Amino acid sequence: MWQGFLQITLTLVIVIALTPILGKYIVSVFLGEKTFLDDLLKPVESRLYSFFQLSMIEGINTTGSQYIKDVLLSNLIMGVFVFGIFMTQNLLPLNPTNLSAPSWHLALHTTISFLTNTNQQHYSGETTLSYASQVLALGFLMFTSAGTGLAVAIAFIRGLTGQRLGNFYVDLTLSITRILLPISVVGAIVLLISGVPETLSPPVTVTTLEGANQVIAIGPVAHFEIIKQLGENGGGFFGINSAHPYENPNPFSNLVAILAMMSIPTSLIYTYGIFANNKRQAWLIYWMIFSIFAFLIIITAVGEYHGNPLVNNLLGESQPNLEGKEVRFGWSQTALWAVMTTATMCGAVNGMLDSLMPTGGFSTMFNLFLQIIWGGQGTGTAYIFIYLILTVFLTGLMVGRTPEFLGRKIEKPEIVLASVILLVHPIAILIPSAITLAFPETLAGISNPGFHGLSQVVFEYASAAANNGSGLEGLGDNTLWWNLSTTFSLLMGRYVPIIALLLLADNMSRKQPVPLTSGTLRTDTVLFISVTAGVILILGALTFFPVLALGAIAEGFALG
């Protein structure tokens, strides 16, 4: 037991140690300060700026509406390009097993899923997509979708701290060339050394000990795997994702994947602290999120260690829950990964979430509902500050003072936009879930009726709306209904909040700073952060409490 918890603790210590290092580097990148990659990458970036007809001196700053147009237009073009690759993959090279094109609705869902940094998969990669589709289409979107989220987060932080939003294409370029690509190159080499394959060779046919033939899928996995984790993408090259020995062969590769998964979401809070010139506030926010995160890890790990009481009664002794887990990772690393992958909105799995004990089901769904326990690539950090703004507004009303955040007044337009960001999430989850559950025989495809079946359906939509991509599985989800309904949740959960975030940041950037006085509500105190935690639990968690009560909580009582 203690060895498992020691592994979890040491992993978290490394994550905390990396936070200020990467956080400072991100600041240097977006403030235009000199970095060790300047000589190598500046010529490349200059060519890209010329392609986009940008100047580093003129037109570097845009309005919120222009930033939004650039995000939407670029994403539309990328989506059409990738959809075209899927629908013609049978005509393209790098298709060693001669796979045909997927159905149009599966191709559409997969395109939107990877475009929105969700990577929800209603297929098995090794039997559905060619190498060309995996590398040229999905690999491309893994970089650009993660870069888009990171660019939006930086623009939001700029606006929140009173600066102009910047230029989307410059931010996207820097996100990829200075952050995602360099770390991915190093990470891919490390994964290669640890045993992850990187080859364009076709699948290998071997003879088993029983004399039968078995086809073993391989492919260019290493470079795919690292950006999958670093960019909070989560989509697996193989159907069983990071539980596959070619994606995640040993505890060392598992640690590399976890650190990649956690590095950017945790570091962006520190990045904000430098932009706002208030590291104290950043660390207070960091420890607030970390406290909730650690609590969820503990209850999940304890639940997996104690195992299923029904099975333990049959055995006559307590045994950890190893159903759906890889022995090379065990209960502790699977529990840690499950909470991390839903906290960071990565969505990759090294064990089956469907097999977690009810406490694990509660933790993973809780993360998807809140979206701020580290959150998605860039946008999760922005969601945290939406709750801070709402807390400032509510506390300001209680003391009869005009609310202010970072020296700028919070007024009706900001509250309306913040409300839109928080309300779109339950709309994108609960409405399609209700429709699906109303027709369980024809639409849902539930494999586990009862409390767990409800969780399966809601989890799928929550994963789509939160741009996470993981699932409880067991659903027959490669159908016209599931592909189109989750596409709705994918689009709602990604682009409506991005538009609202950028408009809110643009409003804040145009406000004149208000001088600090003795009556100003300080937002860098333990009291304020504690109140924020309460607002998060009340506004965020209670919205979905009936779903949790009818799903994971009820399942836990039934097992008990």
Helix H segments across 161-278? 168-174, 181-194, 222-230, 251-275
Contacts of 317-326 with C-beta under 8 Å, sequence gap 24+, read 321/355, 321/356, 321/357, 323/352, 323/355, 324/351, 324/352, 324/353, 324/354, 324/355, 324/356, 325/351, 325/352, 325/355, 326/243, 326/350, 326/351
Residue 398 has what pLDDT?
Answer: 78
10-38 as b/e: b if 16+ CB within 10 A: ebbeebeeebbebbebbbebbeeeeeebe
Torsion of CA 69, 75, 78, 83, to 10 degrees: -130
Q: Read out DSSP for 334-386?
A: HHHHHHHHHHTT----SB-GGGS-HHHHHHHHHHHHH--SS-STTHHHHHHHH
Residue 49 has what pLDDT?
Answer: 80
Q: Read out DSSP for 177-196?
A: IIIIHHHHHHHHHHHHHHT-
Q: Are 104 and 460 in contact (CB under 8 A)?
A: no
Residue 187 has what pLDDT?
Answer: 96
DSSP secondary-structure letter at 213?
A: E
Q: What is the pLDDT of residues 219-238, one digit of tens each?
A: 999 999 999 999 999 889 99
Q: Coil, helix or strand for 120?
A: coil
Q: What is the pLDDT of residues 102-112, one digit of tens each?
A: 999 999 999 99
Which CA distances in Å does 388 have to 157, 163, 420? 13, 19, 15
Evaluated on CA atoms 80, 83, 87, 91, the torsion sign reads: positive
End-to-end Cα distance, the chain: 22
Residue 395 has what pLDDT?
Answer: 85
- What's the number of CA atoms in the CB half-sphere (13 Å) around residue 295? 10
Q: How far is CA 469 from the centre of its chain?
A: 8
| Other CB atoms within 10 A of residue 198 CB | 16
Residue 156 has what pLDDT?
Answer: 95
Which CA distances in Å does 487 have to 88, 114, 117, 461? 21, 11, 13, 9
Q: Count, in order, helices (H) and strands (E) of the chain.
A: 22, 4
| Structure-block tokens of residue 442 | 């024809």
The stretches in the chain having pLDDT less than 50 are 56-59
Q: Strands (DSSP E) along 119-248, which ranges?
A: 204-207, 213-216
278-294 as b/e: b if 16+ CB within 10 A: bbebbbbbbebbbebbe
Residue 521 has what pLDDT?
Answer: 77
